[in-house]
Chains A and B, each alone.
Chain A
Amino acid sequence: MRNISSMFETFAALAEPHRFRIVELLRSGPRSVSDIGAQLHLNQPQASKHLKVLKEAGLVDMQPKAQQRLYELRAQPLRELHEWLERYRQLWDERFDAMDELLEELQQKEKPRGRKSRH
């Protein structure tokens, strides 16, 4: 698990609608700043600013190619975020599995002979 602050960084980066749309756009493959700007109706400084935030959050990588800088999506932070909610559920699931065991034991103790079927 990555540290919590980086999770928040990922969330903060995605919480901005333009940046979320950039991430969606990059799903189809790497694109240049000007391409991204044109697709999302952003001027180049705006697009660059958003890409910088996404890059700092680890959501995109930049590859220089010929005269261009191509931005591509890094899938891992998104997957980690997706797993975040699941992690809390699993924490409780594990607790409850242990509680199941405990409850079975408590029920055994309650039966004076311990062998009689409940049904």
Chain B
Amino acid sequence: MAANPDIEFPLNNTRMTTPSERELVITRTFRAPPRLVFEAWTQAEFVKRWWVPKSCGGELTECRADVQVGGTFRYVMRVAGNEFGFSGKYIEIHRPAKLVYTQVFDPYPDSPVLITVTFEEHEGKTRLRSHELYPSKEALDATIASGMESGMREIMDQIDELVAALPAH
């Protein structure tokens, strides 16, 4: 964890760290109070506006969220003919400060990810932290590999060094 919140929660940029081989943390500051950021994060009508990255050229084919404890959500994105579906269940809801839910990526039904999102108010802005806990190192690797991140940190660090030393071309 960075000691300086301005570095840990950047504005107009996104920070990502892998505190362990089963965890992934995404942080960012938003210029809006937690009340609004919480709604933007959870309400289906708002999720539709941001969840599919524009650059991937995909579309949202399903988006529903029943935001209450025990309620479920399902988002499906179609990219280049492939569907990527995510479902889950809300476990804890402390509006607008904290949200805990599970998330399952369709190809890995036995690997639910536990996601804890915190919305911390700071001078009218929101410091958002999304903490993803995977059931195993392999689950993180697999999910990440489907267009995402790698949990193989040790080797990643070594590769960082190798890449830094490669001739640029």
On chain B, which size bracket covers the interface?
35 or more
- Looking at the assembled complex, report how far the CB atom of A112 sits from the nearest CB atom of chain B, in whole angstroms: 16
Give Cα distance in the complex from A84 to B50, angstroms.
22
Once A20-B158, A81-B159, A102-B50 are accepted as A-B contacts, the answer to whether A92 and B166 lie under 8 Å apart by CB is no
Q: How far is the CB of A61 from chain B (nearest CB, A)?
A: 15
Interface residues on A, range: 35 or more
Which of A11, A94, A99, A110 is the one whose CB lies under 8 Å from B54? A94
A96 and B26 alpha carbons, distance in the complex (Å): 11
Contact check, B165 vs A107: say whether CB atoms are below 8 A apart. no
Q: Mark B21-45, 1 if CB is under 8 A from A, else 0.
A: 0001010101110001101110000
CB within 8 Å of A: which of B110-169?
A: 141, 144-150, 152, 155-156, 158-160, 162-163, 165-167, 169
**Chain A contact residues: over half helix, strand or loop, or mixed?**
helix
Q: Are B163 and A78 in contact (CB under 8 A)?
A: yes
B32 A103 Cβ-Cβ under 8 A = yes
| Closest-CB distance, A50 to chain B (whole angstroms) | 16
**CA separation between A94 and B31, bound complex, in Å?**
16
Q: In the complex the two chains form, is B16's CB within 8 Å of A85's CB?
A: yes
Decide if A103 touches B14 in the complex (CB within 8 Å): no
B165: A residues at CB distance < 8 A: 27
CA distance A88 to B31 in the complex (A): 23
Closest CB-CB distance, A83 to chain B, in whole Å? 9
- The 8 Å CB contact of A95, one of B32, B53, B147, B163, is B53
Q: Of A91, A106, A110, which contacts B40 at CB under 8 A?
A: A106
Cα of A88 to Cα of B18 in the assembled complex, Å: 12
B149 contact set on A, CB distance < 8 A: 84-85, 87-89
List A contacts of B31 (CB < 8 A). Answer: 100, 103-104
Whether A15 and B155, one on each chain, are in contact in the complex, defined by CB atoms closer than 8 angstroms, is: yes
Query: Is A42 among interface residues, defined by CB-CB distance under 8 A?
Result: no
Residues of A within 8 A of B162 (CB): 23-24, 27, 78
Closest-CB distance, A88 to chain B (whole angstroms): 3
Asked if B4 is at the interface of the complex by the 8 Å CB criterion, the answer is no
A99 touches B158 (CB 8 A): no
**7 pairs, CB–CB < 8 Å, chain A vs chain B:** A11-B155, A14-B158, A82-B160, A88-B148, A88-B149, A102-B49, A103-B30
Chain B residues at the A interface, C-beta cutoff of 8 Å: 12-16, 18, 24, 26, 28, 30-32, 36-37, 39-41, 46, 49-51, 53-55, 141, 144-150, 152, 155-156, 158-160, 162-163, 165-167, 169
Chain A positions within 8 Å of B, measured between CB atoms, are 4, 7-8, 11, 14-15, 20, 23-24, 27, 75, 78-79, 81-82, 84-85, 87-89, 91-104, 106-107, 110
